Amino acid sequence: MTKNIAVIRGDGIGPEIVEQALKVLNKIADLYGHTFNYTDVDMGGCAIDKWGNPLPEEMLEKCVESDSVLLGAVGGEKWNNVPGDMRPEKGLLRLRAGMGVYSNNRPAKIWKQLADASPLKKEIVDKGIDFIIVRELIGGIYFGEHTTTEESGEKKAVDVLSYTESEIERIGRIGFETARKRSKRLCSVEKSNVLDSSRLWKSVMHRLAEEYPDVELSDMLVDNCAMQIVKNPSQFDVIVTENMFGDILSDEASMITGSIGMIPSSSLGATSCGLYEPIHGSAPDIAGMDIANPIGTILSAAMMLRYSFDMPKEADAIENAVSAVLDEGFRTADIMSDGCKKVGCSEMGKLIISKLERK
């Protein structure tokens, strides 16, 4: 099978971690008889430096025309003072909108080998942490109108949060369908005691629930959900929520699993062309030092194989290889613990490749 992948190496540690993921994909291609063609795309700070634009239109077109997109990380202090509409993160927002990927699916799973790295108490971790946050990605306050005006001698900033029924329904269906493939429990998170947008969200979710009688739907206010994620994460199977709430909760969830460097994510829309990326940032302070953790990016590539390319065996092979390396005690600096063997970014990639085998 031949697939065309747009590759955004990005900024900071992005090029290093993406390089390891591509090497893993190349090994998978050899083992299973596939061909992966790569097209480099400039986005983020590097695109600002090169083109004066965080995502030039021709770069966006390359992504849209691909079978899927693999992204490292973008941004850094170097570009903190550029105008707001030209920040590296604006390139990412435009990419999501341009690709029409409205659902970000981020697993919060603790690997048994890293259980001791979780900041939660052992008795909480021992109950298990394995849930997915389904976040609406191209609506809400991030994509609403943003204005700063001056009234009565002082500045006033306004950010508009709006959702339509159809926007809520399409992400709600992703939540229900995801729950169907897991333990059939869906928690809808909003702030309906305060926000009109959340009250609409809640009503649409309950209407959809009638179409999914096999899925248990529960409601939870976002502030309570934030507390429950650290108090009793084992209660969750699938969480579905709006853009800003999902942004915050998914970052919180990533930290309870032990390392932000281990967590992949997928962003999908109406087609199989998805955007796959680790959830961590560009970490410019360690860029070029060969100490970054590439596993989140490698697991993102595995998600690409599973969800966009319908290659579950190949995805399983990558995940099993990661688990085997962790079993042998190899760790990058961010997940290092006593008695383990510290390795760098490139060495971790080599170790994972050495464990890949066709089954």
The CATH number assigned to the domain holding 173 equals 3.40.718.10
Cα angle: 244, vertex 248, 251; to 5 degrees: 140
The DSSP call for residue 213 is: T
**What pLDDT, on the 0 to 100 scale, is given for residue 221?**
98
Helix H segments across the chain? 14-32, 45-51, 57-64, 88-99, 122-125, 165-180, 196-209, 222-231, 243-256, 295-307, 312-327, 345-355
- Is residue 332 classed as helix, strand or coil in its secondary structure? coil
Q: Are 71 and 40 in contact (CB under 8 A)?
A: no
On whether both 4 and 98 belong to a single domain, the answer is yes
Q: Beta strands 154-159 and 146-151: pairing type? A: antiparallel
**What pLDDT, on the 0 to 100 scale, is given for residue 39?**
98
Return the bridge partners of 106, or none. 133
On whether both 229 and 261 belong to a single domain, the answer is no
Q: Are 43 and 10 in contact (CB under 8 A)?
A: yes
On whether both 186 and 147 belong to a single domain, the answer is yes
Return the bridge partners of 108, or none. 131
On whether both 275 and 349 belong to a single domain, the answer is yes
The DSSP call for residue 139 is: S
Q: Are 22 and 7 in contact (CB under 8 A)?
A: yes
Q: What is the pLDDT along the chain (359 residues), one digit of tens a residue?
A: 999 999 999 999 999 999 999 999 999 999 999 999 999 999 999 999 999 999 999 999 999 999 999 999 999 989 988 887 788 989 998 999 899 999 999 999 888 898 888 999 999 999 999 999 999 998 999 989 999 999 999 999 999 999 999 999 999 999 998 899 889 999 999 999 999 999 999 999 999 999 999 999 999 999 999 999 999 999 999 999 999 999 999 989 988 987 788 999 999 988 889 999 998 999 999 999 999 999 999 999 999 999 899 999 999 999 999 999 999 999 999 999 899 999 999 999 999 999 999 87
Q: Beta strands 35-40 and 2-10: pairing type? A: parallel
On whether both 80 and 189 belong to a single domain, the answer is no
Distance in angstroms (rounded) separating the CA atoms of residues 333 and 52? 35
Query: What is the token pair recorded at 42?
Result: 């400039």
pLDDT, tens digit (0-9, with 9 covering 90-100), for 264-288:
999 998 888 999 999 899 999 999 9
The count of structural domains within the chain is 2
Q: Are 202 and 240 in contact (CB under 8 A)?
A: no
On whether both 319 and 263 belong to a single domain, the answer is yes
Domain finish residue from 199, 234, 256:
256
Burial code (b: 16+ CB inside 10 Å, e: under 16) for 24-63 equals bbebbbeeeebebebeebbbbbbbbeeeebbbbeebbebb
**What pLDDT, on the 0 to 100 scale, is given for residue 38?**
98
**Edge-to-edge, what's the strand order for the sheet holding 35-40?**
35-40, 2-10, 68-73, 275-278, 264-269, 101-109, 130-136, 238-241, 185-190, 216-221
**What pLDDT, on the 0 to 100 scale, is given for residue 181?**
85
Domain finish residue from 256, 289, 306:
256
Burial code (b: 16+ CB inside 10 Å, e: under 16) for 127-161 equals eebebbbbbbbbbbbbbeeeeeeeeeeeeeeeeeb
Domain finish residue from 233, 256, 279:
256
On whether both 94 and 157 belong to a single domain, the answer is no
On whether both 223 and 330 belong to a single domain, the answer is no
**What pLDDT, on the 0 to 100 scale, is given for residue 248?**
96
On whether both 223 and 248 belong to a single domain, the answer is yes
Q: Are 237 and 185 in contact (CB under 8 A)?
A: yes
The catalytic residues are 142, 191, 223, 247, 251
Q: Are 221 and 187 in contact (CB under 8 A)?
A: no
On whether both 201 and 269 belong to a single domain, the answer is no
**What pLDDT, on the 0 to 100 scale, is given for residue 272?**
87
pLDDT, tens digit (0-9, with 9 covering 90-100), for 69-117:
999 999 998 998 888 778 898 999 899 989 999 999 999 988 889 888 8
Closest by CA to 4, choosing from 42, 41, 38, is: 38
Distance of CA 260 to the CA centre of its chain: 11
On whether both 28 and 123 belong to a single domain, the answer is no
Q: Are 179 and 208 in contact (CB under 8 A)?
A: no
Q: Domain of residue 292: give its range.
A: 1-111+257-359
Distance in angstroms (rounded) separating the CA atoms of residues 298 and 90? 25
pLDDT, tens digit (0-9, with 9 covering 90-100), for 335-347:
998 999 999 999 9
On whether both 321 and 294 belong to a single domain, the answer is yes
